[in-house]
Amino acid sequence: DDGDHVPALVIGSGYGGAVAALRLTQAGIATAVVEMGMAWTTAGADGKVFCDMLDPDHRSYWLRTRTDQPVGYFLGIDANKSISRYTGVLDSEKFAGIRVYQGRGVGGGSLVNGGMAVVPQRDYFAQILPSVDVTSMYDTYFPRANAALGVNAIDTAWFETAACYRYARVSRDQAKASGYRTTFLNNVYDFGYMRQEQAGTVTRSALASEVIYGNNFGKRSLDKTYLAAAAATGRLTISAQHVVTAVAPASPAGYTVTMNQIDTAGRTVAVKTVRADRVFFAAGSVGTSKLLVAMRAQGQLPNLPAAVGQGWGNNGNVMVARAQHLWNTTGALESGMPAMGIDNWSDPAGPVFAEIAPFPAGTELWISLYLAITKNPNRAQFAYDVTTGSVGLSWQTAQNQPAVTAAKRLFDTINRAQATVYRSDLFGVNKVWGDDFTYHPLGGCVLDQATDNYGRLPGYPGLYVVDGSLIPGSTGVNPFVTITALAERNLEKILTTDVS
Ligand code: FAD
C-alpha cells in the first residue's frame, strides 16, 4: 500500500523474480512482489482462465486492439483479428527493428512459453559468462533450478506412438535422413497429464491448441512452483496490476519505489510510493533495462554504469517453415509443447539449435515449423529519448542476417535432401524468414559488466538485477533454465553476504 516500508521489493514475477521471492522469504525476509500483469486465476465467461490459439480474444494480448501473432499470415493473408483492449497475457512490444514477445502476469514468461527446459552446453555457457564458476553451475544451480521448476522428461516410447507428436517425428526423420542429429527436450509441462490428454481421459490443454496465450491445465508455471512455495512461507505479498515507474534512493537509507496501479484497460487508478530496503529488478531483459536506463537519464540513479542498457541480443532467434509432400502428413492434432530439437550447434560454420515447433491449427496443413536459435553475434543498446520520455532499442532487422544465414544453411540442406520447399506465406507476403521478432530477449544489464559478478548494481547498495538482462544476448538454447539457475546462484551469494 501507499507509504508502506518493506524489507525487500521485487519488480516482476517471472523467473528471476520468482527465485528471488522464494529464497528471500525462505530466509525469513518479508518480500513484496510488484507485477504489472494480472493474476491469472479467474475464469472468464467460457469457464476458462486463458483463451487458445485458434480463437484469441481480449485475454490474448497486452493492451492491443488487434492480435499480433508470431505467425501472422496464412497463404499470404493477414491472419490477425480485432480484439478488445485488455491487460492480456502476451505482450508484443514493438521497437524500431524488432517485436519482442513477453509474458504479462503473475508468473511472467512462464504463463505463455512453450515450457522447454534446456540446460545450455557447458562450454558455451563458459564462453558467454566467463566470470561464473562453471562447476558449481552444473553441479548445484542447474539441478536446483530444474528441481524447483518441476522439469520432466518425455517417455520416449510414448513419443513414438503419440498422434500429437507426429509433426515432430516427421521433422526428426527428415533431419536425420539429411545428416543432422536430433535431441529430446525436457519440459515443465506435465507429460503424464499430456498422455492422459492423448488418451482422452482429462480436459485437453497442450492438445487443445493452448500455448502462447496461456495453458489452462498441465503446465507447471511459476505461480504453481516457485511462487506457490514462496507464498507458503507466509512472508510473500504479490501486487498484480501495478507498474513500477521509478526507483530512487531514499533518505536516510533504502529506496523509494513509485508505481501505477492500473485497471484492465491499462488506465492508472492510483499512484503509490513504497520504501524498500532492497530492490530486486526482475522485470525481464526489456523491462529491467528500460527502467534502469530511464532512471539514469532522469537523474534518479545517475551513477549507474555506462554498461547499463548495453549488450542486448535476441538469442539468435529466427523462425521458418517447410512445406511437406502431400503423402507426409504432420497430423491434425499437434501438442503445443515442443519435445524435440535439431542440434547442429557444434557445427563451427553455422551453429543452429532448431526447436521443432507445433503449428496447432486443428487440421492437417503439411507444415513443419521451426524456431531456430543461432549464434548471432550482433548486439543492440537501449537509449533514453528525451523528447518522448521513453526508452528505445537500437536493434535493426538487418542485424538478424547472421541468424538467417545460419538457419538457411541447415534448412536448405534438409530441403535439398527431402525435395521439399520453404513456406513463403506465413511471415508476410513472399517472406520465408520470421526474422523481425523474438521470444528470447536477453541482456541489457550484463553480469560482471553492468553489475558485479552477482547482479549487484555498483554505487547503489541494496539494488540487484536477477533476470534475463544479466545474460549477454545469447545462451544457445531456450533461456529460462539458465535465467533460473543464475538467479539461484546470485541469491545464494546475496543472502549469505549482504543479508544476515
Ligand atoms: P519475464 O519472465 O519476462 O518476467 C518479467 C516480469 O516482469 C513480467 O511478468 C512483466 O509483466 C513484469 N514487469 C515488466 N516490467 C514491469 C514493471 N515496470 N513493473 C512491474 N512489473 C513489470 N524460454 C524457454 O526456456 N523455453 C521455452 O519453451 C520458451 N518459450 C517461449 C515462448 C514464448 C511465446 C515466449 C514469449 C517466450 C518463451 N521463452 C521460452 C522465453 C522465456 O519465457 C523468457 O526467457 C523468460 O520468461 C524470461 O524470464 P525473466 O525472469 O527474465 O523475465
pLDDT band at 429 (very low <50, low <70, confident <90, very high): very high
Question: Which of 111, 355, 439 is the best mutation target for the ligand 1 pocket, counting ligand atoms within 8 Å of the beta carbon and taking the most?
Answer: 439
Q: Tell me what the mean pLDDT of segment 259-278 comes to.
A: 98
At 128 the pLDDT is 97
pLDDT category of residue 499 using cuts at 50, 70 and 90: confident
User: Rounded to the nearest whole angstrom, what is the distance from the C-alpha of residue 468 to the centroid of ligand 1?
Assistant: 8
Residue whose Cα lies nearest atom 43 of ligand 1: it is: 109
383 alpha carbon to ligand 1 midpoint, in Å? 21
Query: Nearest-CA neighbor of 119 among 404, 353, 285?
Result: 353
Q: Report the percent of the chain where pLDDT is more than 70.
A: 100
Location of C-alpha cell 493492451 = 63
CB neighbours of 489 closer than 8 A, spacing ≥ 6? 132, 136, 137, 140, 141, 454
CB under 6 Å to ligand 1: residues? 11-16, 34-37, 101-104, 108-109, 112-116, 212, 243-244, 282-285, 287, 291, 439-440, 467-468, 478-480, 483
Q: How confident is the model at residue 337 (pLDDT cuts 50, 70, 90)?
A: very high
According to the model, what pLDDT value does residue 189 have? 98
Give the pLDDT mean for 216-233: 98
pLDDT surpasses 90 at 222:
yes
**Model confidence pLDDT, tens digit, residues 27-49:** 999 999 999 999 999 999 999 99
- For 244-259, the pLDDT digits (tens) are 999 999 999 999 999 9
Q: Is the pLDDT of residue 500 over 80?
A: no
> Does the annotation count 355 as an active-site position?
yes
Provide mean pLDDT across the span 360-365. Answer: 94
Cα separation, 265 vs 257, in Å, equals 23
How many whole angstroms from 339 Cα to the centroid of ligand 1? Answer: 20
Cell of 278: 532492497
Catalytic residue among 355, 364, 488, 492: 355
Rounded Cα distance between 305 and 292, Å, is 10
Residue 216's CB is within 10 A of a number of other CB atoms, namely 18
* 334 catalytic per annotation: no
Catalytic residue of the set 160, 440, 488, 492:
440
> What's the mean pLDDT when you consider all of the chain?
97
How far is ligand 1, taken at its centre, from the CA of residue 469, in Å? 11
Average pLDDT on 395-401 reads 97
